[in-house]
Amino acid sequence: MPKTLYDKLMSAHMVREEGSTLLIYIDRQLIHEVTSPQAFEGLEMAGRKPWRIDANLAVPDHNVPTTERSSGVSGISDPISKLQIETLDKYCETFGINEIHMTDVRQGIVHVVGPEQGATLPGMSIVCGDSHTSTHGALGALAFGIGTSEVEHVLATGCLWQSKSKNLKIEVNGNLNEHVSAKDVALYIVGQIGTAGGTGYAIEFSGDTIQGLSIEGRMTLCNMAIEAGARVGMVAVDVKTIEYVKGRPLAPTGDEWDKAVVYWNTLHSDADAHFDKVVNFNAADIKPQVTWGTSPEMVISIDGVIPDPDKETDSVKAESIRNALNYIHLDANTPINTVDIDVVFIGSCTNSRIEDLRLAAEVVEGKHIADNIKQALVVPGSGLIKKQAEDEGLDKIFTDAGFEWREAGCSMCLAMNADKLEAGERCASTSNRNFEGRQGQGSFTHLVSPAIAAASAIAGHFSGV
């Protein structure tokens, strides 16, 4: 029987099948400081040890400060943040789990560090106590987020029960318009199918537009699959995938590499594979995107106008629009490119890789942020990306333009560390969620690409390049 990529990976990892529920083997668990303390504690209380220690890789990221941190964990001012990282350090040492510590140059956001280190490989089953684990599907992996109790279960057994998803193929074909990036493609898709459009499905992104994206672009796309309601987002393995993986610290070498490549080249959906649903998009229809509301599906193009609830025939949608506009302090029928902003954030597991920083630097080079911009942050996804950017002179381009150049971490993606918005502040953010209070209580988040974030910082309002 012809199989989809998702079905191939589920079958390859199946230990036992009970109806539509499968017990699957987990090849890699990525761990951070927020969802692991209770899992480690449960393991310790039960007198258990990790089933396979080297299947795990830990990286603190959510709570780490992005300002100067030479004093290490002791320099963290917030007691909860400090305790969570101390707890991660303690249990990783206790159980012998490989941890990239906060002061290590390799430290960064777990979904950036995994692929960068070769801990993410094609064909793997990968879990993490974080919803944006779908990022790793860009490398042809079966990757999804799990809860804290499941983190403990995977630590103890190396396996996890999973209900099988249906298959959704999202195909994008054609050439992207100028200044349209993978983030715009992701936001456009979420806007078209909605935040529930992928519920119950595993999404495979395909088409010549997707094949034309870099691996970093594909990571951005798969990262946002969860925002469309899907648990899994993936792209088939191709030459770009294999070239990206080659030479990574944890990638196979020698004969093992050759064997792996043979297998990896099978990681694509068969020609006659059945998809439960197929959605097609034309790349030419996609413009740079900006969210206007309190959900990623509330998105319009940079030259668009904020929707009017009075023109919406669906009463539920109309009420949703009213509630969003009431929260975010915007009026219907306002051109989005006339809306002023206060803060710009370039970073997160969605858009903090070297390609993202280059795109933003290209826009701001030789310019300066507008006078009304209170703060503009650039936060690399890892210490290695930070170093590479500095070697390329990107840091100077940003600082000359008035941006702050920070250490690696999740930063202002979510209000869980020192980088927060104040109530009433409006932010152009390259992160993945614009829920109420996501970046700080009473704050307003608008999701954009790195290029649009950079252009908006220069203009002082939402702006195209």
Domain locations in the chain as residue ranges: 1-286, 289-459
Nearest to 268 by CA among 319, 324, 307, 210: 210
**Bridge partner list, 99:** 58
Domains 1-286 and 289-459 belong to one CATH topology: yes
Residues 108 and 133 sit within 8 Å (Cβ to Cβ): no
How many whole angstroms separate alpha carbon 58 and alpha carbon 39? 13
What confidence score (pLDDT) does residue 439 get?
Answer: 98
Residue 438 gets which letter from DSSP? T
Tell me phi and psi for residue 428, to 5 degrees: -90, 110
CATH number of 289-459: 3.30.499.10
3-class SS at 346?
strand
In one-letter notation, the amino acid at residue 20 is: S
Nearest to 2 by CA among 340, 266, 353, 235: 266
Residues 379 and 345 sit within 8 Å (Cβ to Cβ): yes
Nearest to 328 by CA among 211, 439, 170, 243: 439
| 84 membership: H or E segment, kind and range | helix 79-95
How many whole angstroms separate alpha carbon 213 and alpha carbon 218? 6
How many whole angstroms separate alpha carbon 78 and alpha carbon 235? 39
Residues in the chain: 465
What confidence score (pLDDT) does residue 252 get?
Answer: 98
Residues 384 and 106 sit within 8 Å (Cβ to Cβ): yes
- Please give the structure tokens belonging to residue 29: 């668990």
E strand map for 84-189: 98-99, 125-128, 142-145, 159-163, 166-173
- Please give the structure tokens belonging to residue 194: 């909605």
The residues, any chain, with a CB within 8 Å of residue 159's CB and separated by 6 or more, are 15, 23, 24, 25, 26, 153
- pLDDT tens digits in sequence order for the chain, 465 residues long: 999 999 999 999 999 999 889 999 999 999 999 999 999 999 999 999 999 999 999 999 999 999 988 889 999 989 999 999 999 999 999 999 999 999 999 999 999 999 999 999 999 999 999 999 999 999 999 999 999 999 999 999 999 999 999 999 999 999 999 999 999 999 999 999 999 999 999 999 999 999 999 999 999 999 999 999 999 999 999 999 999 999 999 999 999 999 999 999 999 999 999 999 999 999 999 999 999 999 999 999 999 999 999 999 999 999 999 999 999 999 999 999 999 999 999 999 999 999 999 999 999 999 999 999 999 999 999 999 999 999 999 999 999 999 999 999 999 999 999 999 999 999 999 999 999 999 999 999 999 999 999 999 999 999 999
Task: Select 1-286's CATH number: 3.30.499.10, 3.40.50.10140, 3.20.20.140, 3.20.20.20.
Answer: 3.30.499.10
